[in-house]
Amino acid sequence: MYILIESFITIVLLALISMLWIEARRTAYAPIHVPRGAAIYTVIAVSGSGEGLEQTVNSLAHFLGDAAPGTRIVIEDCGLAPEGVKIAELLARDNKNVVLGTNELIGGEKVWQTT
């Protein structure tokens, strides 16, 4: 009888843990919902040679996917070297959701203007 009760408790605990795990994964990977007319901008501020920029942009684009059509990835030029500018331009050309931007100060606030 003791083994039967212990087995039942084990099964209930495993079921509870499985349900919690499924809920955690569902929450973590829930699609991003963008209200109609709204946009999400992810800004990547880069300088120097732009090393790792392609991997960063591609990872973000994959994460955002088609679930959030109003999203844009803005590559902010904070002093890119010529090779970094070339990488950024190629990324923007190859992906319609990637744009190049410049960081402007307007009234003491940063404003990203896409080019």
- Tens digit of each residue's pLDDT (9 = 90 or more) over 69-101: 667 888 888 888 999 999 999 999 988 888 888
Q: What is the pLDDT of residue 15?
A: 92
Q: What is the pLDDT of residue 4?
A: 81
Sketch the domain layout of the chain as residue ranges: 1-30, 35-114
In angstroms, the CA 110 to CA 105 distance is: 5
**Does residue 67 surpass a pLDDT of 60?**
no
Closest CA relative to residue 95, chosen from 75, 77, 67 = 75
pTM of the predicted protein model: 0.60
Lookup result for tokens 């901008």: 41
In the chain, which residue ranges form alpha helices assigned H by DSSP?
Answer: 2-28, 53-64, 82-94
Q: What is the pLDDT of residue 101?
A: 80
